[in-house]
């Protein structure tokens, strides 16, 4: 099946002047951003960064050359005071790591080869998704209460731990819980069924409870520091929009809410890309009272979520434990529905 990337406008708007690309070494093929080795450098090695600036950067959470190389000019200007200087420092950091602004389509193709898939553990769902949950992308599960969004998130936190031959990425998961619905007991059940030691499976999930939207954004910022060292390959945000909706009610707050939500989604997309991790978010549906024909429900978060999320899957309840999944909003995916079941063992065919 043809896979496509929805436009990542969310990131590109904040990165107009600093194209984020990876370099290619002719002898070894594509060097993905994951493979860029910044371990032998420190911030002071960047041209134009002295002791004082380095300290300012560290205090603001930019601890590695890579953090600086992929920062947006605006973000960095907030730390060091001037946009002009921020731009220079970002370019110098990129140069230090051998990142160049342009690449050939072949190089881009090679870079795409680094994309990996996490099996959902359910063949029908994997097929619907074209192989599973993709890294370097945001996959959104939308649906009413009880549709199975949280259950899928739990399952994926286990699946990502499996070795590649069993559909995983032999990595850890970061679970950002905004609603307090994460259940370790459920992880243990699913892990057991998948042949993992339940306690080990729990150890490989890093949990963070987000108490409000600012906190949610802060957790993702902090996450940057541990993704590599902990080998995190999946980030779950359950749910993406709930705090934003609660904190910014009504039309008068809509613009502010959407702007902040956009910032959050950009942040997630950028992390997905830079660290080659999969990001999975859940989203609620809201009723559209003025719709008389067609679906009276729509995903929360409006255009910002619609544009920011790479793949969108709608979940519906069927009879008893049957659930129906469908990719929507994607001209490149078939208008196909698949079913799966929620059981004691997790999500199954």
- What character string, x for contact with Mg ion (CB under 5 A) and - otherwise, covers 146-175? ---xx-------------------------
Q: Does 146 bind ligand GTP (CB under 6 A)?
A: yes
Task: Pick the closer one to ligand GTP by CB: 200 or 344.
Answer: 344
Nearer to ligand GTP, 344 or 349 (CB): 344
Q: What is the nearest approach in angstroms of ligand GTP to the Cβ of residue 261? A: 18
Size of the site for ligand GTP (CB under 6 A): 14
Q: Which of residues 173-212 bind ligand GTP (CB under 6 A)?
A: 181
Least distance to Mg ion, CB of residue 179, Å: 6
Contacting residues for 333 by C-beta, under 8 A, at least 6 apart: 1, 128, 130, 311, 327
Q: What is the total residue count of the chain?
A: 349
User: How many C-beta atoms lie closer than 10 Å to residue 341's C-beta?
Assistant: 17
Scanning residues 247 to 306, which ones bind ligand GTP (CB under 6 A)? 284
Q: Identify the residue among 148, 167, 299, 308 touching ligand GTP (CB under 6 A).
A: 148
- 349 alpha-carbon distance from chain centroid: 25
Q: Where are the alpha helices (DSSP H) in the chain?
A: 9-12, 51-59, 65-69, 73-80, 83-96, 105-112, 123-128, 149-159, 184-193, 198-203, 213-230, 242-247, 254-275, 302-308
145 binds ligand GTP (CB under 6 A): yes
189 binds Mg ion (CB under 5 A): no
CB 153 within 8 A of CB 281: no
Report the distance separating Cα 313 and Cα 194, nearest Å. 24
Distance CA 118, CA 168 (A): 5
Structure tokens at 329: 């909003």
Q: Which does 330 bind (CB under 5 to 8 A by kind): ligand GTP, Mg ion, none?
A: none
Find how far residue 97's CA is from the centre of its chain: 24
Least distance to Mg ion, CB of residue 71, Å: 33
Q: Which stretch binds ligand GTP (CB under 6 A): 15-23, 85-93, 167-175, 340-348?
A: 340-348
Q: Does 120 bind ligand GTP (CB under 6 A)?
A: no
Which of 86, 5, 100 has its CA nearest to residue 48?
Answer: 86
Q: Cα–chain-centroid distance for residue 141?
A: 13
Q: Which residues contact 43 (CB under 8 A, 6 or more apart)?
A: 49, 53, 54, 57, 58, 62, 63, 64, 65, 68
Would you count residue 147 as binding ligand GTP (CB under 6 A)? Answer: yes
Query: 130 vs 184, which CB is nearer to Mg ion?
Result: 184
By beta-carbon proximity to ligand GTP, the closer residue of 274 and 342 is 342
Query: Within 33-52, which residues bind ligand GTP (CB under 6 A)?
Result: none
Q: How far is the CB of 308 from ligand GTP (least distance, A)?
A: 20
Cα-atom radius of gyration of the chain, to the nearest Å?
Answer: 20
- Of 214, 221, 344, 349, the one binding ligand GTP by CB under 6 A: 344
Question: The tokens of 80 are what?
Answer: 């060091």
Q: Choose the contact partner of 145 out of ligand GTP, Mg ion, none; CB within 5 to 8 A by kind.
A: ligand GTP
CB of 341 to ligand GTP, least distance (A): 8
Nearer to ligand GTP among residue 50 and residue 146 (C-beta): 146
- Residues 24 and 110 sit within 8 Å (Cβ to Cβ): yes
Nearest CB to ligand GTP, comparing residues 84 and 344? 344
Residues lying near Mg ion in the complex (CB under 5 A) are found at 149-150, 181
Residues lying near ligand GTP in the complex (CB under 6 A) are found at 143, 145-151, 181, 284, 321, 342-344
């Amino acid at each position: 099946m043809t896979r496509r990337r929805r436009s990542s406008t969310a990131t590109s708007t904040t990165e107009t002047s600093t194209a984020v690309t990876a370099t290619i070494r002719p002898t070894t093929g594509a060097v993905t951003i994951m493979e860029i080795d910044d371990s032998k450098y420190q911030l002071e090695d960047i041209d134009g960064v002295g002791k004082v600036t380095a300290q300012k950067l560290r205090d603001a959470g930019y601890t590695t050359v890579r953090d600086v190389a992929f920062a947006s000019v605006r973000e960095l200007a907030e730390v060091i005071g001037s946009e002009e200087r921020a731009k220079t420092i970002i370019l110098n950091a990129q140069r230090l790591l051998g990142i160049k602004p342009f690449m050939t389509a072949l190089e881009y193709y090679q870079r795409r080869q680094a994309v990996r898939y996490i099996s959902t553990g359910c063949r029908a769902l994997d097929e619907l998704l074209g192989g599973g949950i993709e890294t370097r992308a945001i996959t959104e599960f939308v649906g009413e209460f009880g549709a199975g969004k949280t259950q899928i998130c739990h399952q994926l936190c286990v699946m990502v731990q499996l070795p590649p031959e069993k559909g995983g990425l032999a990595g850890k998961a970061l679970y950002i819980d905004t609603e307090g619905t994460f259940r370790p007991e459920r992880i243990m059940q699913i892990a057991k069924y998948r042949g993992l030691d339940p306690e080990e499976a729990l150890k490989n999930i890093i949990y963070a409870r987000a108490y409000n939207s600012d906190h949610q954004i802060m957790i993702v910022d902090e996450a940057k520091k541990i993704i590599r060292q902990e080998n995190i390959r999946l980030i779950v945000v359950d749910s993406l929009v709930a705090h934003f909706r609660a904190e910014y009610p009504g039309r008068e707050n809509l613009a502010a809410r959407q702007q902040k939500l956009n910032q959050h989604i950009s942040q997630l997309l950028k992390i997905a890309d830079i660290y080659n991790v999969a990001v999975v978010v859940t989203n609620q549906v809201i009723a559209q009272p003025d719709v008389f024909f067609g679906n009276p429900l729509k995903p929360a978060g409006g255009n910002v979520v619609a544009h920011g999320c790479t793949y969108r899957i709608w979940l519906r309840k069927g009879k008893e434990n049957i659930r129906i999944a469908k990719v929507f909003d994607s001209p490149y995916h078939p208008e196909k529905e698949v079913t799966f079941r929620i059981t004691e063992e997790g999500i199954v065919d």
